Chain A
Amino acid sequence: MYGLTQLFSGLTTAALLFLVAAGLTMIFGGLRIINVAHGSFYMYGAFIVSSLVGTALTSSAHATALFWTALIVAPLVVAALGALTEYLVLRPLYGREHLLQLLATFALFYIFTGVSLLFWGGQYRSISIPPMLQGHLTVLGATLPVYNGFIMLIAVAVGLFMWWLLQRTPLGWRIRAAVEDPEMLAAMGTNVRGLFTGVFTLGTFLAGLAGAIVGPTQSVTTGLGAQILVSAFIVAVIGGLGSVAGAAIGAIIIGLSQAAGVLWAPQFESAFIYVAMILVLAIRPSGLLGVPEQ
């Protein structure tokens, strides 16, 4: 059942892409900023876990506990960094040209890359999968690594949480209202600036979480952020910038088309996703669930 195995691998990719793209799309929806540095937060999540856990993760209970701790601490540290970034760099740029905002995050991308080289060097680092999550499941004759199942579970949990947060809480109403008309919201007494900081912090938290859980599945290096960024953009754009539900749909489309690429045209596997994006945008220039830009 090679096909089903590929399907699982595609869904794992989709899960990670969703976590990163959900933050990206939320930040765009609220702040109207294309965050080029988003991948860097993801990369930091992975690096922090690698520093906390180290490479020698043996079967001891201590090591497992360390992994779970790292999984919580890393996204929190990344979120704090995100909050600081929004406060110091992005706030002064609200209301200015898109180009300047884009370039500020591009500058941040360079800075974060440099800082990560300073702290962690250019080498590849690897993190072992904690003993509890090692091994494989066999589903309908196809193999699914337990850890990949874990990644999918986290993504589904985050997806449900985001749905609840955005649709069912006063905070979610405010975030959605900020996308529609921030001035009106401010006039009604909401601290929109603070809300924006919150949205950015939540978005970077998700990126940090995705980075933290991806660590054990691949080697951790500085290039990690640049790699995922483009795919996450494509997911967000296909779904429609600003729409978290769109990001979920986009992530599944991209994850599955990558899996299809591996199955049918391995040589051009990653070209599939760009073609998918160009096709979607040629037909619907604002993405599947996006609202047209004025």
Chain B
Amino acid sequence: MMDGRGKIFTHGAVPLSLASALVVFAILGFVLSPRWLFFFQGVFELGLFAVATNLLIGYGGLVSFGQASFYGLGAYVVALGWLHYKIPFWILFLLAPVFGAVTALLVGMLALRARQLYFALLTLAFSQLFFTIAHQWYHFTEGSNGVFGAMVPRILTAPQHGYWFILGVSVIAIFLLWLVTISPFGLTLQAIRENRKKAEAIGINVYRHQLYAFVIAGAFSALAGALFVVHDQSAYPALLDWIKSGEPILMIMIGGIGFFLGPLVGAVIFQFAHNFLIEYTHVWELVLGLILLVIVLFAPDGLLGLLDSRHRGEVREKMHSRLKRVFAFRNNRPGSKR
């Protein structure tokens, strides 16, 4: 499997899956009921958010707990530009990722001074700062009510049109993100994740690469936020808080952190839990939490990790040893695993 063909196949799998998903879902747009159209709008937009976040977490090894800063910002750029300045939607839609990139540059310059957990907490603090501003700057942001109204052109408000639009933009954006991950830049980013010191030693500017990754992820997260406005026709403070920042991480883990398309699988399951479980049980958080916990404990490579035939034997072995570890932890030597 390690020969050239295997490699080409793995590389070709992503654009192939994306292209076939584009065609299949575009056709499905003709037959799906409005309810399902709405469901998949959410999947595409959240999926893009999660794939963008995975550029940091999976590829860069940078656990940002503040990606909602940029997602919410994208949504607010569209909503506030409409509310206060009556700027046409299409211009705002293009401005959203620009705002996301610039903000990510500023946030990243500060946050990337810290490492690991402090980085996670700094990004979380920024996310909460933006949340607070959106929540309290009532005159400008409408506070906790959020912004509602006809901010999306009428042509996109029909569920079917909105569906196709979100599908098209998300797939193109995800494809662009894939190009980033296979570019020399993307490979360098992964090299830094694997061994920061070695990367530094061979002359790679670690800070600059991580900052660029943060900017790219911020721009695409903001784009996802702008798509959310097409989906929901509103922007409100909860789009910016730390729980929202946790959602893409949850999707990444459920789908599989080591797989480019893993977050999309996670997005389907997340959206399903969110939209449908809520009808049968008001405690969808409980179900989602249990799914995440089981994955963290027993299958940290996510669902795709379980399905991946190349790793199946390895995964079974890993799961077995993990089960043993969970149920027989008494035998573990104290402190020996740290």
Contacts and interface: CB of A to CB of B under 8 A. Distances in A.
B137 interface: yes
B325 A92 contact: yes
List 3 A-B pairs, minimum CB-CB distance, nearest first: A114-B286, A110-B289, A95-B337
Given A92-B325, A274-B125, A281-B118, A104 B338 contact: no
B319 interface: no
B121 interface: yes
Interface string A96-122: 101110111011111111110110001
A234 B297 CA distance: 28
Interface of B: 57, 63, 65, 110, 113-118, 120-122, 124-126, 128-129, 132-133, 135-138, 242-243, 246, 249-250, 253, 282-290, 292-293, 296-297, 300, 322, 325-326, 329, 332-338
Given A92-B322, A286-B118, A117 B132 contact: no
A186 B338 CA distance: 11
A275 interface: yes
B125 A110 contact: no
B114 A281 contact: yes
A98 B63 contact: yes
Interface in A184-200: 185-186, 190-194
A107 B289 contact: yes
Given A94-B338, A271-B132, A110 B120 contact: no
Contacts of A93: 296-297
Contacts of A95: 336-338
9 contacts: A92-B322, A95-B337, A100-B300, A183-B336, A194-B334, A230-B124, A267-B136, A274-B126, A281-B125
A114 B122 CA distance: 27
Interface in A119-145: 122
Contact of B288 (A34, A110, A237): A110
A241 interface: yes
Contact of B287 (A96, A114, A182, A226): A114
Contacts of B110: 278, 281-282
Nearest to A234: B125
A293 B128 contact: no
Question: Do most interface residues of chain B lie in helix, strand or loop, or is the interface mixed?
Answer: helix
A281 B289 CA distance: 31
Contacts of B329: 91-92, 193
A252 B94 CA distance: 44
A114 to B, nearest CB: 2
Contact of B289 (A34, A114, A182, A270): A114
B134 to A, nearest CB: 11
Nearest to B257: A99
A193 to B, nearest CB: 5
Contact of B136 (A32, A233, A237, A271): A271
Interface of A: 28, 32, 34, 36, 88-89, 91-96, 98-100, 102-104, 106-115, 117-118, 122, 182-183, 185-186, 190-194, 226, 230, 233-234, 237, 241, 267-271, 274-275, 277-278, 281-282, 285-286, 293
Question: Do most interface residues of chain A lie in helix, strand or loop, or is the interface mixed?
Answer: helix
A10 B122 CA distance: 24
A282 B296 CA distance: 32
Given A106-B292, A183-B335, A230-B124, A115 B286 contact: yes
A94 B285 CA distance: 25
A275 B121 contact: no
Contacts of A34: 117, 120-121
Nearest to B61: A99
B334 A191 contact: yes
B228 to A, nearest CB: 21
A198 to B, nearest CB: 13
A260 to B, nearest CB: 15
A271 B332 CA distance: 45
A95 B335 CA distance: 9
A88 B282 CA distance: 26
A104 B322 CA distance: 14
A108 B250 CA distance: 12
Contacts of B121: 34, 233, 237
Given A106-B250, A230-B242, A274-B128, A99 B289 contact: no
B221 to A, nearest CB: 18
Contacts of A281: 110, 113-114, 118, 122, 125
B87 to A, nearest CB: 26
Given A274-B125, A293-B116, A107 B283 contact: no
B120 A237 contact: no
B113 A282 contact: yes
B118 A226 contact: no
Contacts of B246: 36, 106
A101 to B, nearest CB: 8
A275 B65 CA distance: 17
